[in-house]
Amino acid sequence: GNSTMRDILFGLQVQSIGEKPYKSLLELEDERGNRNGTSITVKAKEIGLRIFPMADVYGGPLIGCHVGSDIAADLLAIGMDQQNHDVMLVDIGTNTEIVIGNRDRMLAASCPAGPAFEGGEISYGMPGYQGAIESIALHGSNVKYSTIENQEPQGICGSGLIDILAELRRTGQMTELGVLPNGEETFSVVPDKGISISRSDISSLAQAKSATYSGQYIAMRRYGAPPEKIFKLYLAGGFANYIKIESATSIGFLPNIPNERIIKVGNAALEGATIMLLSQHMRIVSQQMFRNIEHIELETPPDFFEIFVEGCMFNPMATIIP
């Protein structure tokens, strides 16, 4: 889990993670030289886990801020420490984490995207459950959609929300600022079910998208690798598995990287956790890898606000000049 989730599991005080400089107590202790690394191992009985009482319970290392042990697991799963070319990991969620680099240098950032693309704060938004509209295509005034498990439509999940935004732009039914024609407040997706997307929904999605946009843009610029120099883009997380790449890049949710260089790795955190479980050596590798990752705070660049405003527009990502 992220830093907060991990430390709560181990019964640690998490107040310091919510205050500048947004670090776990174990990170602060490590910086003071009072411990070696930010991973943690306790006995099951110490945290009330109902397995063999003397079993070891391991929590992976933390990079910094909210970039936690789930990302440590992601990096093991994709073999980031073995990459000779520049690659980028984007783990999409309420908090989106980004790591860019190769075996010699890595840089990480955390983006507070919020719950909009997971269905929160959106009129007919919902998680990826049965009946969620997961893909949408517009043909003139006709809306074609598919739902999860082909059930009756109940709402729109994240991949469907990205599709509808991209399709409204493609067909000229929404401006780059998210404005619908003739001052309309809603666009009907499934009229007989009353499912629609509103101007307010579009505004919330624009801000959520911009957080992810800004994180990727700033990380690539800081690292010195624009999209054309990214050898592979790894998309992690359950939501990312269902995103239509063309839709995501057309509205700037993802950078302009050719489809063949974008790899969906699904629940890479679970894969990485399995690697940690099976190999003490790989746990050491993970800890060493994290020590060499530079963490950047997104709000520190002087032009952050300009980048965020650009990211709120439904256009492909602006040209990055390192």
Quick one: average pLDDT of 25-41?
Answer: 91
Give the residue-averaged pLDDT of 307-317.
96
Q: What percent of the chain has pLDDT over 90?
A: 78
The whole-number pLDDT of residue 112 equals 86
Strands in the chain per DSSP E: 40-43, 56-59, 87-91, 95-101, 106-112, 132-139, 142-147, 155-156, 186-190, 195-198, 232-236, 262-266, 293-295
Q: 243-277: per-residue pLDDT in tens? A: 999 999 999 999 999 999 999 999 999 999 999 99
CA distance 55 to 39: 16
Structure tokens at 94: 């309420």
Cα separation, 156 vs 223, whole angstroms? 35
pLDDT at 1 over 90: no
Looking at residue 247, its amino acid is S
- pLDDT tens per residue across span 157-202: 999 999 999 999 999 999 999 999 988 999 999 999 999 999 999 9
Residue 291 has pLDDT above 90, yes or no: no
Q: Please determine, for residue 52, whether its predicted confidence score (pLDDT) is greater than 90.
A: yes
Q: What is the pLDDT of residue 56?
A: 95
Minimum mean pLDDT among 67-71, 112-116, 178-182, 217-221: which range?
Answer: 112-116
DSSP bridge pairs for 68: none
Give the C-alpha distances (Å, rounded to integers) separating 315 from 80, 166, 196, 270, 312.
30, 9, 22, 33, 9
Instruction: List, for residues 61-99, the tens digit of each pLDDT value.
Output: 998 778 899 999 999 999 999 999 999 999 998 889 999
What's the confidence (pLDDT) of residue 114?
85
pLDDT mean over 304-314: 96
pLDDT (average), residues 198-220: 95
pLDDT at 94: 82
pLDDT number for residue 242: 87
Nearest to 66 by CA among 311, 296, 301, 302: 296
Give per-residue pLDDT as tens, 122-149: 999 999 899 999 999 999 778 999 999 9
pLDDT value of position 322: 66
| Token pair 């599991």: residue | 9
What band does 20 get if pLDDT is binned at 50, 70 and 90? confident
Ramachandran region, residue 114 (left: φ > 0; alpha: ψ -120 to 50; beta: rest):
left
In whole numbers, what is the pLDDT of the chain averaged over residues? Answer: 93
In this predicted structure, what is the pLDDT of residue 178?
96
**What is the distance between the alpha carbons of residues 195 and 187, in angstroms, rounded to a whole number?**
9
**What percent of the chain has a predicted confidence (pLDDT) above 70?**
100
250-299-83-91 Cα dihedral, nearest 10 degrees:
-60
